[in-house]
Amino acid sequence: MRPLYPAIEPHDTGLLDVGDGQQLYWEVSGNPHGKPVVFLHGGPGGAVSPLHRRVFDPAKYRIVLFDQRGAGRSLPHASEPGYDLSVNTTWHLVADIERLRDHVGVDTWQVFGGSWGSTLALAYAQTHPDRVTELVLRGIFTLRESELDWFYEGPAGQIFPDVWEKYVAQVPGTERGGYIMAYHRLLNDPDPAVHGPAAVAWATWEASAITLLPQPATVARFADPHFALAFARIENHYFMNRGWMDDGQLITDAHLLRHIPAVIVQGRYDICTPPVTAWDLHRAWPEADFHLIPDAGHSMEEPGIRSALIEATDRFAG
């Protein structure tokens, strides 16, 4: 198993104004003259962390991390009252990645994304294929109706009934059946006594189902009320709007990527984004290296997932 690279600090950080009143936190670490890579975090509505720097060889890579609109250290934070979600869509984020590329002075770069980060990586690469040197994708999520139904509307609850019960408990009986819609109302209720517990329940459900074995520290991190509110509001907004994409679009358009070297890493026991989506992508894009890790869930902290990701970034580093 490949360990993480040692902890490093960024040598450059800033806030990038991308318009619509939004500023993105960004940071660059590793070798300033190395091979550029951009890391796309999950959610949507998650955040980058120091761990994310450590899947790249710092001697070989110029590592660019950023927090997507409304998330992490970007401003304003989606937990703030009155945050305008209408300027936060898949296509705003795709345009933001281009602005950031220009801002850090890079012509082309490797794109690394897990979970929602894989969704965004596919959307970005299909829109700007000439800017992408390689793709490293983990825990494939394409925001299809079937994927949302699986995780947010019931079926995955059969595997985690104990946690699912708490997710469902937020929703009054009369609303049961359409949880994404019911949570939309709860999360955007101005009363903190309504949106607060709903956000924690939403984030707890997701964090509890992303690792093969229970990881209380992971759940605690994502159940933090400040993180959970931005995460839940942004995710729910994207899901209510089906990512502003056609159902299955990212897989249908995989042919646009066939010339780009790529690695797909998927955990067999990924309950959040089950292997069928990675498999459908693999079938549509057979040139991409496909790794189905037999003993892993969804998170990039799963040892088998982490190891396969580092092997991929090492190989692409040359």
Task: Cite the active site residues.
Answer: 115, 270, 298
Three-class SS of residue 84? coil
DSSP string, 132-198: EEEEEEES-----HHHHHHHHSSGGGGTSHHHHHHHHHTS-GGGTT-HHHHHHHHHT-S-HHHHHHH
Least CB distance to ligand STX at residue 195 (A): 18
* Element spanning 267, H or E: strand 262-267
Partner residues linked to 64 by β-bridges: 28, 38
Residues 6 or more apart whose CB falls under 8 angstroms from that of 276 comprise: none
Task: State yes or no: residue 201 binds ligand STX (CB under 6 A).
Answer: no
CB-CB contact of 205 with 171 (8 Å) = no
Closer by beta carbon to ligand STX, 36 or else 124: 124
Angle of helix 192-208 versus helix 225-240 axis, rounded to 10: 80
Task: State yes or no: residue 305 binds ligand STX (CB under 6 A).
Answer: no
Closer by beta carbon to ligand STX, 207 or else 251: 207
Candidates 263, 265, 272, 305; binder of ligand STX (CB under 6 A) is 272
Candidates 141, 179, 202, 285; binder of ligand STX (CB under 6 A) is 141
Least CB distance to ligand STX at residue 66 (A): 14
Candidates 28, 38, 97, 210; binder of ligand STX (CB under 6 A) is 210
Angle of helix 145-152 versus helix 179-187 axis, rounded to 10: 70
Least CB distance to ligand STX at residue 153 (A): 13
Total chain residues near ligand STX (CB under 6 A): 11
Q: Using CB under 6 A, which of the segments 41-49, 99-107, 252-260, 280-288 binds ligand STX?
A: 41-49
Judged by the rule CB under 6 A, the positions of this chain that interact with ligand STX are: 42-43, 46, 115-116, 141, 206-207, 210, 222, 272
